[in-house]
C-alpha cells in the first residue's frame, strides 16, 4: 500500500514541479465488508471503532513516509455513502441490474468470488481438506444467496473498443495485454450485493433494505466521491490516473470501467499498475514472519532513504526483492557517497573559502559546435563535454520516464550523471590547484561552477522522490523556493553565453552531511524487528 502511495506521490510532486495545472492525490481506507465485520467481532469491538483505529494507522504510515495526499477518503464517511447511493441509482436507471440467485466459492479476505479454475485443494490448520484461492492462498467457502447482479457480459464490446482506442489506458503493457486476454474469456455477470442478514457492515441497497452493496462497488466509487460526485466531479473526471497493485487489476481494469460506462461515465484516463515486493525472494506472509513494517524502515533508513530505495529499485512490470543489505548498499553508494560526497567536496571551505557560487570562465571551458564530437580544448577533455551533454538532456529524459510511469529509469539516469560528475571532479583534482595563481583560480572556479550546476539540476530533479534531502541540497546551493521548478530549469547558462543568476551568490548555510551513511544491522533479531 505504501509503495502504491509513494508512486502516486512522486507523480504528483513531479506534475506540480512542471507547473502542469492543478493536481491532487486521493487515497484513503476501504472500510466495509464481511472481513471487517468478522475482524471486529474477533477483536471484541465494533466495526466503526476498528475502522477508526486502523484508518488512523494507514494515515500515520503515509504521513511518516512523506506522502503529500490532498484527500483521504474513508468509505464509512457520509459524503462517500451519498455518492455510492447515487451511483447505484445510475446503474439501476440504466437497466444493468437484475436480481438473481448466485452461488460460488467466496473468499472473504479478498471480498470476491473465485472461479473454480483459480482454486486448489489444501488442508486447513486442523488437517481437514479445504479449497483455497491459487493467487492468494486464502481459504474459500461455498456461498449461495439471492443478490443483485450486474450485466458485465453486455460490456465486452464497449470495453474492448475502449482499450483498442486507448492503448496507453493500462500501463505497463503486460497488464494491458492481460486485460485484453480476460475480455476474450468467459465474462459472467457480477454479483454486486450481499444479503443484509450476512453482511450488516456496509451501505444498504437503496429501496431494498434486505441487501448490502458489494464492498468493491462501494470502494471503487471513492475515486468519484473524492472529486465531488455527483455534482462537481466533471472538473476532474475522467482526466484521472489510478495507481494500483497488480492483485486488484481485474477490479480496476475490468469491473470498474464497465460500471462507469453503465453509469454514463467514461473510464479513467490511465490505470498505472505495479507489481509486489518479496523479502529475500519469498512472498511476505505473517506465517513466515517476514512482513516488513514501513515505520521501522523509515526509522532505520530515514524517510528519504526508504523512499529512494523503493522508487529506485521498484520495477512496475515485475516483483522486486527487499532485504536490508540491499537497501544499505544502494543508499550508502548513491545518496551518502556519490551525491552527498560530491556536495561536501565541492563546497568545502578548503576549496571554496569564499563560500560562493563560483564564476564560470568561457576560455577555460570553450564552447564547441557539437558536444558529442568534442576532443577537448586545453584542460577540458572529451569526457567533460560528454558530461555536459548528458546533464543538459537529463531533465527531458527524466520527464519522459515520469510520464511513462518508469520512475526507476529516471533515477537510474540521475545516478549515472552523478557518477559522471564525480569522475569530472576527480579527473581535474581542484584541490591540487593554486588559488593564488590567477589562471589556476579561473580554472578552479570553473570546475566548481560546473559541479554546482550539475548538483543544482540533480537536486531539482530529485525533489519528487527525496523531498527532504533535495531541499537540503538546494538550500546549500542558495537556490530559492521560486527557482526550483522543472518548467524553468536551465543548465550551465554561461556555457551558452547567457547570464547565470546563481554566479557570485553566497551559498546557503552548511547544515552538515547531506545523507548519513548507514551501518549494518547487528543481529538477526533487530533485522526481524
**Distance from C-alpha of 351 to C-alpha of 445, rounded to nearest angstrom:** 9
Mean pLDDT of 131-141: 87
Where is average pLDDT lowest: 112-121, 332-341, 506-515? 112-121
The answer to whether the predicted template modeling score (pTM) of the entire model surpasses 0.75 is yes
Q: What local confidence, expressed as pLDDT, does residue 378 receive?
A: 64
- pLDDT value at 460 more than 50: yes
Q: What local confidence, expressed as pLDDT, does residue 389 receive?
A: 95
Q: What local confidence, expressed as pLDDT, does residue 308 receive?
A: 97
Residue 361 makes CB contacts below 8 A (sequence gap 6+) with 442, 443, 445, 446
Average predicted confidence (pLDDT) for the chain: 92
DSSP characters over 264-293: T-PPPSEEEEE--EEETTEE--TTTT-PPP
**Distance from C-alpha of 112 to C-alpha of 188, rounded to nearest angstrom:** 14
Q: What local confidence, expressed as pLDDT, does residue 528 receive?
A: 47
DSSP state of 356: B
Using a 10 angstrom Cβ sphere, with 0-12 exposed, 13-18 middle and 19 or more buried, the burial of residue 197 is: exposed
Cell numbers placing 139: 481459504
Q: What local confidence, expressed as pLDDT, does residue 284 receive?
A: 83
pLDDT tens string 383-435: 999 999 999 999 999 999 999 999 999 999 999 999 999 999 999 999 999 88
Placement of cell 532505520 in the chain:
300
What is the pLDDT confidence band of residue 331, given thresholds at 50, 70 and 90? very high
Q: What local confidence, expressed as pLDDT, does residue 372 receive?
A: 47
Q: Is 230 helix (H, G, I), strand (E, B) or coil?
A: coil
Phi and psi, residue 190, nearest 5°: -105, 130
Q: What local confidence, expressed as pLDDT, does residue 51 receive?
A: 95
Mean pLDDT of 276-294: 86
∠ Cα 407 413 414 (to 5°): 90
Which of 414, 464, 405 lies closest to 15, judged by CA? 464
Exposure on the CB side of residue 470, measured as CA atoms within 13 A: 21
Q: What local confidence, expressed as pLDDT, does residue 326 receive?
A: 94
Q: What local confidence, expressed as pLDDT, does residue 525 receive?
A: 44
Which of 516, 505, 426, 430 lies closest to 472, judged by CA? 516
Peptide bond into 238 cis (omega under 30): yes
Q: What local confidence, expressed as pLDDT, does residue 283 receive?
A: 87
**Distance from C-alpha of 307 to C-alpha of 73, rounded to nearest angstrom:** 23
Q: What local confidence, expressed as pLDDT, does residue 266 receive?
A: 97
- Measured CA to CA in angstroms, residue 416 lies from 206, 289, 338, 396, 411 at distances of 58, 37, 10, 15, 9
Q: What local confidence, expressed as pLDDT, does residue 370 receive?
A: 55
- pLDDT value at 529 more than 70: no
What are the start-end ranges of the E strands in 95-138? Answer: 97-107, 112-114, 119-123, 129-133
Residue 354 makes CB contacts below 8 A (sequence gap 6+) with none
The rounded percent of the chain whose pLDDT value lies above 70 is 96
pLDDT tens string 189-226: 999 999 999 889 999 999 899 999 999 999 999 999 99
**Distance from C-alpha of 443 to C-alpha of 414, rounded to nearest angstrom:** 26
- The full set of domain ranges for the chain reads 321-506
CATH topology of domain 321-506: Isoleucyl-tRNA Synthetase; Domain 1 (1.10.730)
Q: What local confidence, expressed as pLDDT, does residue 511 receive?
A: 87
DSSP state of 520: P
Q: What local confidence, expressed as pLDDT, does residue 77 receive?
A: 94
- pLDDT value at 518 more than 70: yes
**Distance from C-alpha of 443 to C-alpha of 462, rounded to nearest angstrom:** 29
Mean pLDDT of 335-353: 95
Amino acid at each position: 500500500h505504501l509503495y502504491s502511495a509513494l508512486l502516486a506521490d512522486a507523480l504528483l510532486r513531479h506534475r506540480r514541479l512542471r507547473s502542469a495545472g492543478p493536481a491532487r492525490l486521493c487515497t484513503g481506507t476501504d472500510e466495509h465488508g464481511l472481513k471487517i465485520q468478522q475482524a471486529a467481532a474477533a477483536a471484541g469491538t465494533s466495526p466503526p471503532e476498528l475502522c477508526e483505529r486502523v484508518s488512523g494507522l494507514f494515515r500515520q504510515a503515509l504521513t511518516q513516509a512523506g506522502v503529500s495526499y490532498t484527500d483521504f477518503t474513508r468509505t464509512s464517511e457520509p459524503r462517500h455513502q451519498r455518492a455510492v447511493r447515487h451511483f447505484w441509482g445510475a446503474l439501476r436507471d440504466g437497466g444493468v441490474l437484475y436480481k438473481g440467485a448466485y452461488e460460488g466459492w467466496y473468499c472473504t479476505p479478498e471480498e470476491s468470488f473465485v472461479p473454480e479454475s483459480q482454486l486448489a485443494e489444501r488442508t486447513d490448520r486442523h488437517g481437514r481438506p479445504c479449497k483455497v484461492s491459487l493467487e492468494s492462498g486464502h481459504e474459500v467457502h461455498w456461498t449461495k444467496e439471492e443478490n443483485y447482479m450486474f450485466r458485465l457480459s453486455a460490456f465486452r464490446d464497449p470495453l474492448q473498443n475502449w482499450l483498442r482506442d486507448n492503448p496507453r489506458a493500462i500501463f505497463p503493457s503486460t497488464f494491458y495485454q492481460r486485460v485484453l486476454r480476460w475480455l476474450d474469456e468467459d465474462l459472467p455477470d457480477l454479483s454486486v450485493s450481499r444479503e443484509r442478514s450476512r453482511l450488516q457492515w456496509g451501505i444498504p441497497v437503496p429501496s431494498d433494505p434486505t441487501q448490502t452493496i458489494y464492498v468493491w462497488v462501494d470502494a471503487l466509487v471513492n475515486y468519484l466521491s473524492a472529486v465531488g460526485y455527483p455534482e462537481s466531479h466533471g472538473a476532474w473526471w475522467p482526466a484521472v490516473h489510478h495507481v494500483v497493485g497488480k492483485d486488484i487489476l481485474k477490479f480496476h481494469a475490468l469491473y470498474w470501467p464497465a460500471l462507469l460506462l453503465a453509469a454514463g461515465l467514461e473510464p479513467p484516463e490511465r490505470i498505472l499498475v505495479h507489481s509486489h515486493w518479496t523479502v529475500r525472494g519469498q512472498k511476505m506472509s505473517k506465517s513466515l514472519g517476514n512482513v516488513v513494517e514501513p515505520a521501522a524502515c523509515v526509522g532505520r533508513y530515514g524517510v528519504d532513504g526508504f523512499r529512494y530505495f523503493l522508487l529506485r529499485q521498484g520495477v512496475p512490470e515485475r516483483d522486486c526483492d527487499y532485504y536490508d543489505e540491499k537497501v544499505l548498499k544502494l543508499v550508502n553508494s548513491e545518496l551518502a557517497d556519490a551525491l552527498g560526497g560530491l556536495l561536501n567536496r565541492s563546497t568545502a571551505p578548503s576549496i571554496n573559502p569564499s563560500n560562493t557560487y563560483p564564476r564560470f570562465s568561457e576560455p577555460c571551458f570553450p564552447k564547441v559546435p557539437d558536444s558529442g564530437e568534442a576532443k577537448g580544448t586545453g584542460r577540458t577533455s572529451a569526457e567533460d563535454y560528454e558530461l555536459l551533454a548528458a546533464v543538459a538532456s537529463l531533465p527531458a529524459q527524466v520527464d519522459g520516464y515520469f510520464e511513462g510511469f518508469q520512475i526507476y529509469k529516471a533515477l537510474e539516469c540521475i545516478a549515472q550523471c552523478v557518477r559522471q560528475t564525480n569522475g569530472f571532479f576527480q579527473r581535474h583534482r581542484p584541490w591540487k590547484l593554486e588559488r593564488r595563481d590567477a589562471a589556476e583560480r579561473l580554472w578552479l572556479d570553473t570546475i566548481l561552477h560546473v559541479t554546482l550546476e550539475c548538483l543544482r539540476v540533480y537536486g531539482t530533479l530529485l525533489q519528487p522522490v527525496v523531498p527532504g534531502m533535495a531541499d537540503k541540497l538546494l538550500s546549500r546551493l542558495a537556490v530559492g523556493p521560486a527557482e526550483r521548478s522543472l518548467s524553468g530549469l536551465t543548465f550551465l547558462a554561461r556555457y551558452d553565453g547567457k547570464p547565470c543568476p546563481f554566479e557570485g551568490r553566497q551559498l546557503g548555510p552548511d547544515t552538515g552531511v547531506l545523507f548519513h551513511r548507514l551501518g549494518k544491522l547487528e543481529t538477526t533479531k533487530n533485522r526481524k524487528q
